[in-house]
Amino acid sequence: MRKGVAQVMKVAAGVRLVCFDVDGVVNDGGFYYLSEEPSVAVRFWSRDGHGFQLLREVGIQIAWVSGNRWPAVQARAERLLIPHLFLGTADKAGSVRYQAGALGIPLGQVAYVGDDVNDLPAMALVGLPIAVADADWEVRARATYVTKAPGGHGAAREVADLILAAKRGAGDG
């Protein structure tokens, strides 16, 4: 499924919505269970947050799609002004299809960033399926682009930079 750099950049230049899996992509997939109460702490990479801001500034829509409902993820999404949030979803492909439809964006102009096999149905729908560097082997094999950075350690920022560079090269950004 891999495409050459020129083809990836061409597709990336047309992206209008980027959907990110959360656990293993926006964070590193590790959880800290706090012993005093039934809650979970999750670690995020600060430069990824700036990448989301840069995407927003050029009018690219952002969605987070997660099978979990961690309050820490909700809080981080609110702080970063992530406008489209799907937490606790078992149907990531359905969430992506819904959000693209609600925004009037063709699926060919959507990127999805994932790391595990439950992301494959969503990745199969979109024009630009992306895997993080430490994703499951099957996810990497089905991705058009694989980041150099692992999930939670700059992969989201790398995706933002890729799309922004593609748009600049195409005269869109």
- Encode pLDDT of 53-69 as tens digits: 999 999 999 999 999 98
What whole-number distance in Å separates Cα of residue 69 and Cα of residue 153? 21
- For residues 5 and 2, which has the higher predicted lDDT (pLDDT)? 5
Position 31 scores a pLDDT of: 75
In this model, does residue 84 exceed pLDDT 70? yes
What tokens were used for 37? 């109460």
Place of tokens 């950049």: 9
Q: 39 lies in which domain range?
A: 5-169
> Whole-prediction pTM value?
0.93
Position 36 scores a pLDDT of: 64
Using only C-alpha atoms, what is the Rg of the chain? 15
CATH, residue 69 = 3.40.50.1000
3-state secondary structure of 13: helix
128 pLDDT band (50/70/90 cuts)?
Answer: very high
